[in-house]
Structure 1
Amino acid sequence: MDAVRLILLSRRALAGSVEGRQIMAEAWQSCALAQAIGSRLAVSGPPELRGEALGLTELAGSGCGILGAPPLGVGDLRAARLTELGDAHESLHRLGGLLGEVGIALVGLASAADEEATYWQCMEAIDAADEARDRVLEMLRRLAVRDQVLTERDAAAG
C-alpha cells in the first residue's frame, strides 16, 4: 500500500480513538509508519533528503520506544504494509500533518492523565513526534529548493 493511503488510515484511526490506550496505540502506529517512511526515503528517496530521512527514522523510532509497542495481531502493523512512497512531497506533507495530530492527541491525553508516569510518557512522546515533524518540514523545504533550482535550470536552458 502506498504511503499516502497508510497515512490517511492512520489519521482516521487516531481521530477515532477515545480511550487512552487506543490513543497511545495509534500514536505508536503513526511513529512506526514515520520510521518506515524515513527508512524508505533514506534508501531510495531523493539524495537531498537522505540525511534528514535518517534523522526521521531515528526520531520516530525513539517515539515508538517511548510509547511502547501495543499488542498487535498478525497484519495489524500498518507500517509493514508500506510498499511504495509515491510522490515524496505529498507523502511528507501528509506525514507532517499526521505527526502534528499525534502531538495534539498526546497533549490531550497528558492533560487528562491520572498517573504521573503516563503524563511524562506522553510528554516525551510529544517531543519525539514534534522533532520528527520538524525533520519532515525540513525535507519539504529541501524538496522546494530542489524544485526551484530545477525550474531555474530548465528556464535557463530553454
Structure 2
Amino acid sequence: MDAERLIGVTRQALAASGEAWDVIAEAWQAQALAQAIGDRLALSGPPELRGEARELGETGGRGGGLPDAREAGGGGPGASGPGPEVFGSEVWWGAGTRARQLSSVPDARGALTGLAELLGEVGIALVAVACATDEEGLYWQCIEAIDAADEAGDRVAGLLRRLVAQEQERERKEARERQRQQETERERERQRNHERRRGR
C-alpha cells in the first residue's frame, strides 16, 4: 500500500478511536509509519532528502513500540479489567503495525504533507487524553507519545522545507533557461531581419 493511502487509513483509525488506549495505540502506529516512510525515502527518495529522511527513520524508531497497557495501568492483552471489546483493535491484538504494509512513496511531497497533518492530529488527540485522565500511567504514556510525535513532526517539517526549496530552485533554473532561450531566439530573429534587409 502506498504511503498516502496508509496515512489516510491511520488518520481514519485515529479519528474513530473511542478509548484512551486506542488513541495511544494509534499514536504509535503513526510513529511506526513515520519511521517506515523515512527509511523508504532514505533508500529511494529524492537525493536531496535522503540524509534528513534517514534522521526521520531514526526519530520514528526512537518512539519505541506499542505501549504495554499492563505496565501503564490500563487494560490490554492479559490484563485484568475490560476485554478486547473495549480496548482491543487491530493495533493491540493484530499481527503488527500498518507500516509493514508500506510498499512505496510515489509522491514524496504529498506523503510528507499528509504525514505532517497526521502527526499534528496525533498530538491534539494525545493532549486531550492527557488532560482528561486521572491515571498516572496513562498520562505519562501520553507525554512520551506527544514528545515522539513532536520530534517526528519537526523532522517532517524540515524535509518539506528542503523539498519546497529544491523545487523552487528548479523552477528558477527552468525560468532562467526559458528566458535565455527566448533571448537567443530574439537575437536570431534580429539577425535574420538584418540579413533580409541587406539582401534587398
Instruction: Determine the structure 2 residue equivalent to 1:133.
Output: 153
Quick one: distance in 1 between partners of 2:58 and 2:13? 24
Residue identity opposite 2:111 in structure 1: S
1:71 aligns with 2:55: no
Greater CA deviation, 117-126 or 63-72?
Answer: 63-72
State the number of aligned residues.
157
TM-score when normalising by structure 1 = 0.91
TM-score when normalising by structure 2 = 0.73
Note the alpha carbon deviations across 1:68-109, whole angstroms, 9 max, x for none. 5953423x5210111111210010000000001111111111
Note the alpha carbon deviations across 1:97-148, whole angstroms, 9 max, x for none. 0001111111111112222222122112101101111111111110111011
Q: Greater CA radius of gyration, 1 or 2? A: 2
Quick one: distance in 2 between partners of 1:131 and 1:68? 22
Instruction: Determine the structure 1 residue equivalent to 2:107.
Output: 87
Instruction: Determine the structure 2 residue equivalent to 1:35.
Output: 35
Deviation at 1:62, TM superposition (A): 2.0
Deviation at 1:64, TM superposition (A): 3.2
What 5-or-longer segments of structure 1 have no aligned partner? none
Q: Percent identity?
A: 56
Cα pair 1:66 1:124 within 8 Å, conserved = no
Deviation at 1:65, TM superposition (A): 3.9
1:156 aligns with 2:176: yes
Residue identity opposite 1:142 in structure 2: R
CA RMSD of aligned residues (A): 1.7
Quick one: distance in 2 between partners of 1:73 and 1:122? 22
Once superposed, which parts of structure 1, at least 4 consecutive aligned residues long, lie more than 6 Å away?
A: none
Greater CA deviation, 32-41 or 108-117?
Answer: 108-117
Residue identity opposite 2:122 in structure 1: V
Quick one: distance in 1 between partners of 2:116 and 2:68? 21
Quick one: distance in 2 between partners of 1:56 and 1:131? 9
Q: Secondary structure at the match of 2:92?
A: coil
Residue identity opposite 1:98 in structure 2: L
Q: Secondary structure at the match of 2:106?
A: coil
Quick one: distance in 2 between partners of 1:45 and 1:54? 10
